[in-house]
A and B are shown apart, each in its own frame.
Chain A
Amino acid sequence: MEQVLEGTPKAEITLDGRRVTRGDVSPDWGSKLQWQIRRDGKEIATAPARMAMTFEYADTAAGMYEIVLQLFKYVNYTKNAQGEYTDSKFVDVSNVVSYTT
């Protein structure tokens, strides 16, 4: 029996300076929850988000930063020859907040 993930998760995040705060994810699939940090449109880092409601990215290099909350969406366990998922992936579950340094 495949694990069925119920519903479409959503969460609200807000920005205060460089500190981002999240609300609860609902429905929550219970898979890995992470912050994705993008600078000038390119992913530069991810960080675990399950255990804390706030997060501040330490790097202050110049650029336009975007942060979004992501949840792992399991579709199936198929992987390519490099061991990367072909169908399962992290999906955005929140609005995107941004700031410039």
Chain B
Amino acid sequence: MLHIGNEKVSLCSGVNRRSFLQVGAAGMAGLTLPTLIKLEAAGAVDDSKAKIKNCITLFLVGSPGHLDTWDMKPEAPDDIRGAFKPIDTNVPGIQICEHFPRMARMMDKVALIRSLHHNTGASHENGQRWMMTGHDFSADNMQPYIGSVISRMFGGRSNLPASVILPDKIGNTGTSTPHGQDPAWLGSGHQPFFLGGDPSRGDFKVADLQPPAGQTEFRINSRRRVLAELDQLQRRTESSTTIQRDTAYSRAFNLLTSPETKRAFDLTEETEKLRDRYGRNTFGQSCLMARRMIEHGSRFVTVNHFDTVFNIACWDMHADGGGLNNTHKDYENLLCPQFDQAFTALVEDLEGRGLLQETVIAVLSEFGRTPKLNARGGRDHYPSAWTNFFCGGNIKGGQAIGSTDKIGAAPHDYPILPPRILASIYHGMGIDLETTMMPGPGGRPIRFVEAEPIPELF
């Protein structure tokens, strides 16, 4: 048994790659592999040395058109450039869409990556898997969500879960393949906590924080004691599954009984003015909740902007006249203003509280949208080019990394694949990807992601 951060683990964690290579020689000297890994693992990821302690990802489900948002092509023909105009930002030479006026005033804090692309399929789920795990994969070869990896490597800092997804998990986005927000082999102890409610509603309560009807705190604590005694018996046959369940139980009890936890979820502690600044809508209040989660001890929070793409106003701008009928009007009147307000409020709020320097914000999506407008004026899925961006932490803002060609059809220079985004987040959070490995299936040490961080970001 050993500890990484606050997390009790059964086998290796944060295995130093160099030490792993030494195993062959060590074996000859009489040390077994598990023993050596345990000896070397304990200090492999020391978060006290990490400048960046938290990450918030804003995941734009459906995916904004890059030509309508952060990679505009005003010189392109009518049927490509779209309905919107670019505006200057506070960084000379960088323009963005006119419907992000607040963001334009803080571009010096933002690093755009304009040459993202992938080629494994144009479904939403392909992109979700890439951006949530750094891999594309099928259901029989699940890869862990980055928040679960962070939970596994660093553990929690409080009774709050290390990894949280707001306001809910991604649901139906077209195919019944994984979305990449699962812990995979890391186990249920590192399952992200799904809020499962809408924090913008006046009657909002977190489902998992409400004891079942008839259960008092006394009865819950009594059950906890009985369970602890049973666990003592079961430890004779302890396995990694036992420990994962133990962790999940412990987390659930802490969520139910900790006053600190309940406070963290209580948005009424915020001023009306600040709540307005984020926007009184599901996304805005979820971004505010994300800040509270970080402030109270979570390490990795994802806000899903929408949980589906069907029959709602979202970024999936097909303009098909049916269940996928989002258009430029939805971008102009709802989506862009809502994002502009919530994103900039989050940055300002974190900065005002001294948390921005230790929190990296990553705004991610699944793909871009077709450069040429379709017959109905919409844009369809396009994984060959898109823009995402970083802010906060030790990110070097005020720059656009990579570019696309004249019509935004393909990367013009510095093409970047999704795993490098994940590698950059890990790197930003203090994990040295050259010297540190993570536990793979069965505890086998594996690399976090097969990619290098983007050096220009730091």
Query: Does A pair with B?
Result: yes
Q: Determine the chain A residues whose CB is within 8 A of the CB of B313 once the complex forms.
A: 3, 74, 76-77, 88
A38 to B38, CA, bound (A): 75
Q: A34 to nearest B CB, angstroms?
A: 9
B326 in contact (CB, < 8 A): yes
B176 in contact (CB, < 8 A): no
Q: Pick from B27-35, B119-127, B196-204 the stretch touching chain A.
A: B196-204
Q: Determine the chain A residues whose CB is within 8 A of the CB of B282 once the complex forms.
A: 1-4
Q: B171 to nearest A CB, angstroms?
A: 8
The residue on B at minimum CB distance from A24 is B276
B338 adjacent to A30 (CB under 8 Å): yes
B200 adjacent to A77 (CB under 8 Å): no
A5 adjacent to B168 (CB under 8 Å): no
B257 in contact (CB, < 8 A): no
The residue on B at minimum CB distance from A79 is B325
B332 adjacent to A1 (CB under 8 Å): no
Total number of B residues with any Cβ neighbor in A under 8 Å: 43
Q: Determine the chain B residues whose CB is within 8 A of the CB of A76 once the complex forms.
A: 311-313
A55 in contact (CB, < 8 A): no
Question: Given A5-B200, A6-B201, A6-B202, is A25 in contact with B308 using a C-beta cutoff of 8 Å?
Answer: no
> Which of B276, B282, B283, B342 is the most central at the interface, judged by chain A CB atoms within 10 Å of its CB?
B276
Q: Determine the chain A residues whose CB is within 8 A of the CB of B7 once the complex forms.
A: none
Q: Determine the chain B residues whose CB is within 8 A of the CB of A4 once the complex forms.
A: 198, 200-201, 281-282
Q: B167 to nearest A CB, angstroms?
A: 7
- Can you list, as one digit per residue, whether each of A7-39 has a CB less than 8 Å from chain B (1) or not (0)? 101000000000000001111111111000000
The residue on B at minimum CB distance from A7 is B280
A6 to B313, CA, bound (A): 17
B193 in contact (CB, < 8 A): no
A83 in contact (CB, < 8 A): yes
A79 to B176, CA, bound (A): 28
A99 in contact (CB, < 8 A): no
Q: Contact check: which of B198, B334, B337 meets A1 at CB < 8 Å? A: B198
- Can you list, as one digit per residue, whether each of A37-56 has a CB less than 8 Å from chain B (1) or not (0)? 00000000000101100000
A48 to B279, CA, bound (A): 17
Q: B224 to nearest A CB, angstroms?
A: 33
A84 to B20, CA, bound (A): 62
A30 adjacent to B278 (CB under 8 Å): yes
B334 adjacent to A26 (CB under 8 Å): no
A85 in contact (CB, < 8 A): yes
B308 adjacent to A32 (CB under 8 Å): no
Q: Contact check: which of A5, A77, A83 meets B281 at CB < 8 Å? A: A5
Q: Contact check: which of A2, A28, A77, A79 meets B279 at CB < 8 Å? A: A28
Q: Determine the chain A residues whose CB is within 8 A of the CB of B48 once the complex forms.
A: none
Q: A91 to nearest B CB, angstroms?
A: 12
B284 in contact (CB, < 8 A): yes
A72 to B281, CA, bound (A): 12
Q: Determine the chain A residues whose CB is within 8 A of the CB of B277 once the complex forms.
A: 28
A66 to B202, CA, bound (A): 34
Q: A74 to nearest B CB, angstroms?
A: 5
A27 adjacent to B312 (CB under 8 Å): no
CB-CB contacts below 8 Å: B91-137 with A: 99, 101-102
Q: B362 to nearest A CB, angstroms?
A: 21
B283 adjacent to A3 (CB under 8 Å): yes
A68 to B387, CA, bound (A): 37
B280 adjacent to A27 (CB under 8 Å): yes
- Can you list, as one digit per residue, whether each of A64-76 has a CB less than 8 Å from chain B (1) or not (0)? 0000000010101
B334 adjacent to A72 (CB under 8 Å): yes
A25 adjacent to B276 (CB under 8 Å): yes
B349 in contact (CB, < 8 A): no
Q: B137 to nearest A CB, angstroms?
A: 26
Q: B281 to nearest A CB, angstroms?
A: 5
Q: B69 to nearest A CB, angstroms?
A: 15
Interface residues of B (CB under 8 A from A): 99, 101-102, 167-168, 198, 200-202, 272-273, 275-285, 306-308, 311-313, 319, 321, 325-327, 329-330, 332-334, 337-338, 341-342, 377
**In the complex, given contacts A5-B280, A25-B276, what are 5 additional A-B residue pairs having Cβ atoms less than 8 angstroms apart?**
A2-B282, A3-B306, A31-B338, A32-B334, A81-B321
Interface residues of A (CB under 8 A from B): 1-7, 9, 24-33, 48, 50-51, 72, 74, 76-79, 81, 83, 85, 88
